[in-house]
A and B are shown apart, each in its own frame.
Chain A
Amino acid sequence: MSKLGLSQKAIIEITLLIIILFITGNILQTQISRKLNDAAEESVSNMTADMAQLANERFMRYISTLEATARYLEEHEDQKDNIIVALNRENIYGRAGIMDYEGHTQGAVVSKHEYPKLSRAFQGNSVVDYHADGGIIVAVPVCYGDNVRYVIYQIFSRRNVTAVFGMADYNPHTKIMIQYKDGSMAVPYENFSTRDHEFWGNKDIQNGMAEVHRRLKTSKAAAVYTEGAEGKFFVFGADLPQTEFSLMGYIPWSAVAGKISSVYQMIQWVFTLLLLLFACVSIYLFMAQTKVAENAALKKAREAADEANQAKSQFLANMSHEIRTPINAINGMDEMILRRTRDKEIQRYASNIHSASTALLGIINEILDFSKIESGRMELVTDNYSLRSLLKDVTTLVGFRAKAKHLEFIINVDEKLPNELYGDVGRIRQILINVINNAIKYTDEGSVTFDVSGDVNDDTLLLNLTVTDTGIGIRPEDMDKLFQVFERLDLQKNCKVEGTGLGLAITHRLLTMMGGTVQVESTYGEGSSFIIGLPQKIMGTELVGDFNADQDIEEELLEVNSTSFTAPDASILVVDDNEMNCFVATCMLSDTKAKLTVAHSGTEALELLKQEFFHVVMMDYMMPGMDGIATLHEAKKLEGTKNTKFIILTATALAGVREKFLAEGFDDYLSKPMTGKQLDTVVKRNLPESLLHPVEASELSAEEITVAPAKVEEKAGTGDAPEIDRSIGLKYCNNSDMLYNRILDMFSKLCEANIKEMEDAFGEEDWHSYRIKVHALKSGALNIGCKLLNEMAKAQEQAAKDFLADDAPDEQRNEAVKYLKAHHEEIMTVYRKVADMAKSMMEEA
């Protein structure tokens, strides 16, 4: 419906309503005035009845006087003349007389024909009669015994009737007259003029009177409201009981309903007000309706926008999944390359791949973070944390970068700061790494300084984190844009700096979420400092203490790429439809020596779970057919999965995903792409303590290098002089010189004892014990970086294995013994030699 149509329709509706209200109002008005007039008519009618009573009493007064006179006359029949004189004297308006049955009169002369009612007086009744010419006569019988002999009467001529019977004094507004039954006016009111004749002759008044007469047939008195040329009047009438007279009159409407009419006006006024109010309300409602319609349109638009945004979020989530899966493969495979290869060239390539994919992952994570903040789905996960370890984490990570760029990284920590704090440590770490990395990114030479101080206020610590660099600085005009989305400043200068430009925007928003602030001070060309203020709750009294960044970096490095445990008795099931992912996971977990099984679908996994027990099941979420969650629910129903831990692997890294999966019943969560360390940590966390063994240095990666024995044999046959490759050794020691030295020391010290044990076993042909010892030697040799000894030991161990194999034919056993015996002495010699070399290397260090 168009807007115009709506408004036209509304106007028609309102007009209709107003018309209806107007009509009903008019009906109401008519009804009210009718009711008021009815009520007034009734009250006037009652008044008339009273007046009729009054008029009647006037007649009765004369009748009773005459009756008393009649009683006197009955006793003094001869006193007629005197009585007449006395009566005339008493009432000057009337003339008295006495009539006998024959019609002879004494005193006032009247005729029986003029006053037919006189006959009724002769029958013994007191009467009042009227004649248009003679006036009103009042007559009573004079009785002697049972019989009437005379009638005594008083006659009031027309001139005098008003003075005697007039009712004008009843009320100043009211005009009252007395009519005879034939309609002639017996007693007019005072000053009855031609004007009054006109009034009574008026058609409307006559109609009113006709109605009065009609009503008088059944009621004592009646009043009728008339409205016409003469104005508004009530005309009324009442019959005088027992006479042929009626009382008639009129009263102006205003005299009766004057006060009531103000009530009527009031009602009218109120109704008008209501009408106006209604009109106002209608208009208001109409406007509101229009507004609602507009709002609905706006709401629709917003919904559309929301939908688009939702679609964008969905797209981002999908993209993140799609991108993360291949990155996972790249990272995993690359890590395997790094772990396995000894070729320095290849290691460098792999390392470059690693840093590139890490950077790519970082970018994707930033975009994801930003999308989370945009959609309001970013949630803070607060918990107790240690400031010291936070700072350690940060400095460890950024220290490398600084070192790589040959920048000096200085960290100053106020040792009196409280250590135990409460907040979202993950996000704070992210902020700090971001800001410091930024500083490193834009600094080509000089230093990056990280100052940590704070003010304690009650239970809150206002952390002051200042990152100062000696970099390119920021132009004052760019300051405002600094925290804006996708802004990268000074593009010409920075074209070789990588990044999305989201980092500082995310930082700013995260800080705002946490109630913190960030300020920037910068001199263009000289450097900048980012000052972060962040309030954190203090949870304990422990202080940070002396903070040595360098040492911490060393300690941290020990952990890198190390497999912290082995669990040979553990069994792990990897479920993923993606072959590459399975491969990555199994490769990475192979160090744990756990029994690894792979399933390529939920169904397959369930089959396996039915058959055997797994300590840990690592399950991908997105799988064709049954997804991770469905598989989990089915798996939980199976017997024997009570102690199985389920870990979900997913490339969906949006907010709340972790919580969602944990709520579904997973024991842990791992986001792809994962690093070896992450995988390691998660698996370790979920394996029973009893199955975990710490990695012995000698055992490190002992089994990892799977080189064909024949080849080793070949190599062994070359009789190369043994040498210790420090780099290989260091690699197995996580590049820790300290650890490497310790291993070298151990290797040389244990040498003689091991040789003796091996000799004993060799002498006794205890190939089982011999095999274990050779195995240990194989690992130990690799750990210190002696490939020759390692390979020789491996070949020897293989031979021992061949001999020990249950199904080995005698021929094979003989050959194996032959091989063992042939190479034993050689290995022992090389072992001693290498042990000496190790000793000397250690001493050199």
Chain B
Amino acid sequence: MNAKQRSKYEWGLLLGLITVIVLFVSSLWYFSNDKDQEPPMVGMVLLGGMDEEGWNAPQYRGMKKACDSMGVKLLVSDHNSGLDGACADAVREMVKNGAGMVFLTSYSYTTDAKTLIREFPQIAFGTNSAECRGRNMTSYFIRMYQGRYLTGALAGLRTKSNIIGYVAAMPNSEVNRGINAFTLGVKRTNPQARVIVMYTGSWQDEEIEAANANRLITKEHADVITYHQDEPAAANVAEELGIDYIGYYEDLQNRSEHDLTSVVCNWDRYYEEIVKYYLKGEMNFVDNRWVGMEAGLVELSPFSDAVDYEQRGILDQLKKEMMAGNFVFAGEIYDNQGKLRCRSDEVIRDDRLLQHMDWLVKGVEVLE
């Protein structure tokens, strides 16, 4: 073998050796790294557009933030009316794409939800419709009524006409609970005041909402307005007419002094907690997650300058009481039909609040 051949031979050997080592190391790397798992995926069905302020956009933003912080992939179906099984179709698509949990974020999906929890027993569902229960269904909700109670107290302090207008979507447990807590708050600071409620029959109907608000202000002389709708149409009317109003779901950024405050929810923190439970595999152990101010999920947005120091102090005191265990729905409560709903030494159970609030407290008038 001459020198040239020999060096060729050695190069070949070296090359082979390097190849073997590279293969060896890469195979080690391959085996030591577990195959990339698909990131967990959750789905979310929204009634309106994901950029529509009010109900939808905060929901989406909260969920998005929670998912991002947990490394979870989010699938969203928005503008989903829920009619003709559109929600169920969207959910099927999401499940097909690997979503392990699906959030149905509207009361409108209740019918679909009942079908879906049976159709996909292995999928965890979350819904804010407390009227649907199942092994794989978590009814999640926030004690928004705590915020309602405090804003009711504020409204009681602010009203001069002792008439407070309330534009509400429809008489279900959630809306009624809000009205009742608000009214209990009003009564706490102003036993003379009355709350006049007008149902619009829809979560989103700007025209009717505006008309109702207008009527409450102009005809019923309400000087504080609040609402339970997916959009702040009523607030806009109040702002136009120069009447105090209290927002819901959405911080209206203190457009004016009349924008007293809003009941807002930190959806991201809330969803983060739920997604965490889902990831830990405990989602289906939990019937309901109902948390509120004590966990920082429910807040009042900053007060307008119209809310004076004394009023702020009163509200602060009320909040402290509440946190100390003095509940909104505790002690003697009569409904507006005069029926005793709670004895002075009693507290209304959460499950009743959630699902069976089919009555309104004394002091609420419903305007047809």
Chain A interfacial positions (CB closer than 8 Å to B): 1, 17, 20, 24, 27-28, 31, 34-35, 100-102, 112, 116, 118-119, 122-125, 141, 143-144, 146-149, 216-220, 239, 241-242, 296
Task: Identify the 6 closest CB pairs spanning chains A and B, nearest first.
Answer: A124-B349, A147-B346, A119-B325, A146-B352, A218-B279, A148-B347
19 A-B pairs besides A123-B349, A146-B349, A147-B346 with CB distance below 8 A are A1-B3, A27-B28, A31-B32, A102-B345, A118-B325, A119-B325, A124-B349, A144-B343, A144-B346, A146-B352, A147-B352, A148-B347, A218-B279, A220-B280, A220-B281, A239-B280, A239-B282, A241-B285, A296-B1
> Given A28-B28, A101-B330, A122-B325, are A141 and B345 neighbors across the interface (CB < 8 Å)?
no
Q: Find A123's partner among B1, B17, B31, B327 (CB 8 Å cutoff).
A: B327
Tell me whether B350 is interfacial, beta carbon within 8 Å: yes
The A-contacting residues of B in range 247-297, CB under 8 angstroms, are: 276, 279-282, 285-286
Knowing A31-B28, A119-B325 touch, does A101 contact B349 (C-beta < 8 A)?
Answer: no
Residue of chain A at shortest CB distance from B6: A1
A-B contact pairs, 19 of them (CB 8 A): A1-B3, A27-B28, A31-B32, A34-B32, A35-B32, A101-B347, A102-B345, A118-B325, A122-B327, A123-B349, A124-B352, A147-B342, A147-B347, A220-B280, A220-B281, A241-B282, A242-B285, A242-B286, A296-B1
Cα distance A31–B17 when bound, in Å?
Answer: 21
What sequence of 0s and 1s flags, for each residue 51-87 of chain B, a beta carbon within 8 Å of any chain A beta carbon?
0000000000000000000100000000000000000
In the complex, residue of chain B having the shortest beta-carbon distance to the beta carbon of A147: B346
User: Hey, which chain A residues are within 8 Å of B279, CB to CB?
Assistant: 218-219
- CB < 8 Å neighbour of B21 from A24, A112, A242: A24
Is there an interface contact between A122 and B345, defined as CB atoms closer than 8 Å?
A: no
Q: Would you call B25 an interface residue if the criterion is a C-beta within 8 Å of the partner chain's C-beta atoms?
A: yes
B92 touches A (CB below 8 Å): no
Bound Cα distance A102, B28 (Å): 66
Q: Tell me, rounded to whole Å, the shortest Cβ–Cβ distance linking B284 to chain A.
A: 10
What residues of chain A lie closer than 8 Å to B285, measured between beta carbons?
241-242
List, in ascending order, chain A residues with CB within 8 A of B345's CB: 100-102, 149
- Bound: A125/B351 CA distance, A: 9
CA distance A146 to B346 in the complex (A): 9
Docked CA distance A123–B294 (Å): 14
* Cross-interface CB contact of B325 among A20, A112, A141, A143, cutoff 8 Å: A112
A17, A27, A122: the one contacting B347 at CB < 8 Å is: A122
The answer to the question of B135 belonging to the interface, with a C-beta cut-off of 8 Å to chain A, is: no
Chain B 317-349 interface mask (CB, 8 Å, partner A; 1/0): 000000011010011000000000111011111
Contact A101 to B17, CB < 8 A, known contacts A146-B352, A242-B285? no
Residues of B within 8 A of A241 (CB): 282, 285-286
- Which residues of the partner chain A approach B21 to less than 8 Å between Cβ atoms? 20, 24
Asked whether any CB of chain A lies closer than 8 Å to the CB of B11, the reply is no
A123 x B350 contact (CB < 8 A): yes
Distance to closest chain A CB from B269 (angstroms): 14
A148 & B349 in contact (Cβ 8 Å cutoff): yes
> Known contacts being A34-B32, A122-B325, A218-B280, is A24 close to B341, with CB within 8 Å?
no
The reply to whether the CB of B133 lies closer than 8 angstroms to some CB of chain A is: no
Contact with A along B6-41 (1 / 0, CB 8 A): 100000000001000100110010011000000000
Tell me how far the C-beta of B331 lies from the nearest C-beta in chain A, rounded to whole angstroms: 8
Instruction: Indicate if the CB atoms of A148 and B346 lie closer than 8 Å.
Output: yes
A757 CB, nearest partner CB in chain B, Å? 92
A421 shortest CB reach to chain B, Å: 54
The smallest beta-carbon distance between A386 and chain B, in angstroms, is: 59
A residues in contact with B188, CB < 8 Å: none
| Residues in A neighbouring B17, C-beta threshold 8 A | 17, 20
- Say yes or no: is B356 at the interface (Cβ < 8 Å to chain A): yes
| Residue among B285, B325, B327 facing the most chain A CB atoms (10 A cut-off) | B325
Decide: A143 near B25, CB < 8 A? Known: A34-B32, A220-B280, A220-B282: no
* CB atoms of B70 and A146 under 8 A apart: no
Q: Is the CB of A219 within 8 A of B25?
A: no
Asked if A101 and B346 make an inter-chain contact with CB atoms under 8 angstroms apart, the answer reads yes
Chain B residues near A219 (CB-CB < 8 A)? 279-281
CB closest chain-A residue, reference B278? A218
With A and B bound together, what is the CA distance between A170 and B331 in angstroms?
47
- B280 to A147, Cβ gap below 8 A? no
| Neighbouring B residues of A119 by C-beta, 8 Å | 325, 327
A149 with B343: CB separation less than 8 A:
yes
Q: What residues of chain B lie closer than 8 Å to A124, measured between beta carbons?
A: 347, 349-352
- Chain A's closest residue to B34 (CB) is A38
Q: Which residues of B contact A1 (CB under 8 A)?
A: 3, 6
Distance A834 CA – B168 CA, assembled complex (angstroms): 178
Max chain B C-beta neighbours (<10 A), residue from A1, A146, A216, A242: A146
Contact of A147 among B31, B286, B324, B349 (CB under 8 A): B349
